[in-house]
Amino acid sequence: MHLPLAQSYATLGPQFFRAQPAEPVAAPELLLLNEALARSLTLDPEALKSPEGLALLSGNEAPAQHSPIAQAYAGHQFGGWSPQLGDGRALLLGDITTPEGTFDLQLKGSGRTPFSRNGDGRAWLGPVLREYIVSEAMQALGVPTTRALAAVATGERVQRERAYPGAILTRVAASHIRVGTFQYFAARADTQALEALTAFALKRHYPKAEGPMGLLSAVVAAQARLIAHWMSLGFIHGVMNTDNMAISGQTIDYGPCAFIDAYHPQTVYSSIDRMGRYAYDQQAQIGGWNLAQLASALLPIMGGEEAIPEATERVNAFREIYQAEYLARFAAKLGLSKPGAEDLPLITELLEIMATEQADFTNTFRALTEGHNPLPDSLAFAAWHGRWQARAPSLDLMKQANPALIPRNHRIEQAIQAAVAGDLAPTTRLIQALATPFDPPEGTEDLRLPPLPEEEVQATFCGT
């Protein structure tokens, strides 16, 4: 199948990637196709459903123009330095330019690459469906995110703690350049590569910014806005390693991610994050830490030690931008149209009450939006509610900031279990309902409910 794909990233030089085809799969079957996204990419959904399209989406056939590539990068994983990571189970098919911009198309779960280390390069159905569901929900919620174009069953089994059905996700991103991409070349003292990568990133993402300092400031601002948006929705990324932070400011790499049910600021969902490094209330701090690593990687092309004071100042701007964005987003959730610093205690007090009462994060804010009392037995909430009402909140503003539906972890797990058994209906129902989270379709009331004790999912797993 011919796609209008370029391989722009490959023009940076051979040290940036390894070219190779995907590993063929036995019996590919198209499970999900995001037709609206396909059309926005100027692709024909019917052609993608054809045998030729399926061959491309499964990795059984490479694009006609060029070989897919695995991108090189490094990163700090849970704070520990790994000098070489790279795409161990993903291949970049190429990029496509549309009136809305340029986007990468990548296969995830397409087999081993030179960066796979001890991994098999495959993905099983569960993580593929999780990323499809959550990334598309994030798009509907207005959060910058990578997106899912297609999910394909491979007809093969993938061995994890047991054998699961294999699958491949086709992911769409503004790019797959990460903080860890810059760290990879900084660790090798390859200033030419750093300069080329910086120029490429500026052209693709921030054409109005200038030079490495301009890039740093642009990424700092984008990440501050992104993480504040996560926080306002109760979203936990779960594995904010530097190789999982995209320069574009999009949410990338949906592994042990989840939306909070009963609110607690130290909530963790990753099965391996035993120290709470990536807990909900640590995300802004980790974002700033990751950006400091980006600044360090860029120092060799910013003037070395002499550039440290200015680079530090630009990284430190993260805190101010984040706090302003955090205030604006939570103020909107409370209908405060002209928020000021004096409103922050009102926001903080509500969150503290919610933590004490173990209130559901999403449903508490939605109940306020719909004029209901989410905590009728709480005297502290009653006192808070009076002070909030005195601010004359705007319900119209709240309706735009407080979704009724989020991709709840237990619903995702139920959908995955059904899909493993051959039933995709719960998955497609979730995807359709989550497409309009602020104005939910009739008949989706059950999807708004928090989990029963026996339905709770305590942890999700990194990787695929």
Q: Is the dihedral of CA 109, 110, 114, 118 positive or negative?
A: positive
In terms of Cβ atoms closer than 10 Å to its own Cβ (0-12, 13-18, 19+), residue 376 is: exposed
- Which residue intervals of 299-341 are DSSP H helices? 308-333
Whole-number Å distance between alpha carbons of 315 and 125:
39
Catalytic residue among 87, 95, 104, 243: 243
In 3D space, the residue among 203, 206, 207, 231 whose CA is nearest the CA of residue 219 turns out to be 206
Which two tokens mark 108? Answer: 């995830």
Whole-number Å distance between alpha carbons of 88 and 394:
48
Which two tokens mark 235? Answer: 């979203």
Annotated catalytic residue 446: no
In 3D space, the residue among 119, 82, 105 whose CA is nearest the CA of residue 242 turns out to be 82
Write phi, then psi, for 155 (nearest 5 degrees): 75, 10
Q: How far is CA 266 from CA 260, 263, 277, in A?
A: 10, 9, 10
| Contact between 150 and 30 (Cβ < 8 Å) | yes
Which two tokens mark 112? Answer: 């081993």
Whole-number Å distance between alpha carbons of 128 and 136:
12
Q: By three-state DSSP, how is residue 171 classified?
A: strand
Whole-number Å distance between alpha carbons of 54 and 162:
27
- Measured in whole angstroms, the distance separating CA 375 from the mean position of its chain's CA atoms is 31
Report CA Rg, the chain. 22
What does the angle CA 134 – CA 140 – CA 396 come to, to the nearest 5 degrees? 130
Tally of CB atoms within 10 A around 355: 16
Catalytic residues: 243
